[in-house]
Amino acid sequence: MTDPIGVWVGAILTLLVFSYLLGDTPLFRVAQAIFVGVAIGYAISAAVYLILLPLLFDPLIINPVMNSYLVIPLILGLLLLLKLRTAWAPVGNLSIAFLFGVGSALALGGALDGTLLPQLSAIVVPLDSLENVLLVAGTLGALLSFRFIQPQSGRFGARVVETVARGWGAFGRWFVMIALGALFASVAVSRISLLVNRVYFLLHDWLQIVK
């Protein structure tokens, strides 16, 4: 970043955000408002230039006959915008229903193919080392720890299964807690890296007192 105006703007905005360390100051709120404004402006530009123009309006204008089927998403999109008025909002439900239909099908396929099958196949390992035993027992235990079923009473077999599942689930909760601790530490490290980056920017790029 060699642009001096850009460096000054970036440094002032960084200091505005860091003013929160002194409390919820008006300066911090100004930074928040600018951030929201910039994000909105950028999102509008991205939606228009990266999606609406190349995928909808350009094909419709260039070759309306060949791309006449694009009238359907155009109508659905306009129906969606009717949600801005409370009285007309139910008309927009059709577009929301379309999004939910396609979205749920993609989520189902993605969860099955992208998460469930790869993760299940990853725990099919030979139990020939302590690591593999812990991986399998921990994964199943972590899954059992999220089991919220009313305890079975009555039959002896059901009570045994319940006791084993509860014990294994309690064991699995240790693995969940270890995972959460590791995730917490990873997030902390990434945020500290960002903090170092911002401080370096202030001292190196802006004040130029650090080489």
Using CB under 8 A, which residues numbered 2 to 21 contact another protein?
A: 3, 5-7, 9-11, 13-14, 17-18, 20-21
Residues 6+ apart with CB under 8 A from 7: 1, 205, 206
Using CB under 8 A, which residues numbered 48 to 67 contact another protein?
A: 48-52, 55-56
Q: Extract the tokens encoding 207.
A: 């004040």
Q: How far is the CB of 162 from another protein (least distance, A)?
A: 19
Q: How far is the CB of 160 from another protein (least distance, A)?
A: 23
The whole-angstrom separation of Cα 136 and Cα 128 is: 12
Residues 141-170, one symbol each (x = binds another protein by CB under 8 A, - = not), give xxx-xx------------------------
Residues 6+ apart with CB under 8 A from 65: none
By CB under 8 A, the count of residues binding another protein is: 119
Q: How far is the CB of 40 from another protein (least distance, A)?
A: 4
DSSP class of residue 23 equals: S
Using CB under 8 A, which residues numbered 97 to 116 contact another protein?
A: 97-113, 115-116
Cα 18 to Cα 26, 38, 45, 197, distances in angstroms: 12, 18, 28, 13
Of the pair 33, 210, the CB lying nearest another protein is at: 33
Q: Extract the tokens encoding 41.
A: 């402006």
The whole-angstrom separation of Cα 81 and Cα 79 is: 5
27 belongs to the binding site for another protein (CB under 8 A): no
125 belongs to the binding site for another protein (CB under 8 A): no
DSSP class of residue 113 equals: I
CA quadruple 187, 11, 28, 35: dihedral positive or negative? negative
The correct pick among 123, 152, 162, 166 for binding another protein (CB under 8 A) is 123
200 belongs to the binding site for another protein (CB under 8 A): no
The correct pick among 160, 164, 188, 203 for binding another protein (CB under 8 A) is 188
